[in-house]
Amino acid sequence: MDCIAHRGFAETNPENTLVAVRAAGGTGPGAAGPADAVEVDVRRCGSGELVVIHDGTVDRVSDGTGRVADLTLPELRGLDVLDTGAGVPTLAEVSEATAAPLNVELKERGLAADALELADQAGVDAWYSAFDPAAAEEVREHGGEAALLFAEDPDGALDRARRLDCVAVHPHHSLCDADFVRRAREAGLDVNAWTVRSREVATALAGAGADGLIADAPGYCPDR
């Protein structure tokens, strides 16, 4: 079962930073793995670049305030994110920072073409997940591998994932039992469950036959 580092193992590293990506991917100080893949969140900033940050604002994770969509890349670089002394990284920088595959979560529409191009330029293996079916569809339209994220309605989500020709589904772990995994496999879909924050949940998912765990710390993954 794959261990996918949620935001670069957000419980043990400063989330969605180069420090976290390098540590989770096994290429930097404090490396804990490496993880089988590193999950990061992507948005478009005010000057047009794709940047790696979960929230729509910088308030929670930095010493600044404001909407990511309103801030330019130089402004985002000038922030101190989670006391790292560094600003919000670009997807291009993150793609160069790890040898591990990336799971890029698209937080909005209109990112797929640029995200795929950046991964191709960096030579990194990547697949792209989204809660929004339209964002997942954009991935497929541009030749990428898409995964559908969801926290409810597992039957409907499986149906949508089939129609979108996804390669995987990413359900909340509470939806991921053996019957769900069986039905997903019958539909040709891998199952990566989120967000794992205990060994107990990891053990249950292993018993259900999940393909991967999207986990907040390496200690929650079997054999880590």
In the chain, where the domains are located:
2-220
Q: Give the pLDDT means over successive 10-residue stretches in the chain (224 positions).
A: 97 97 75 81 98 98 98 98 98 94 98 97 96 98 98 98 98 98 98 98 97 96 78
Q: In the prediction, which pLDDT does 224 show?
A: 65
Q: In the prediction, which pLDDT does 3 show?
A: 96
Q: In the prediction, which pLDDT does 223 show?
A: 72
Q: In the prediction, which pLDDT does 27 show?
A: 60
Tokens linked to 170: 């990413």
Q: In the prediction, which pLDDT does 148 show?
A: 98
Give the list of residues 6+ apart from residue 113 with CB closer than 8 angstroms, or none: 138, 142
Q: In the prediction, which pLDDT does 26 show?
A: 74
Q: In the prediction, which pLDDT does 34 show?
A: 76
Tell me, yes or no, if the pTM score tops 0.75.
yes
> Structurally, what CATH architecture does the domain formed by 2-220 represent?
Alpha-Beta Barrel (3.20)
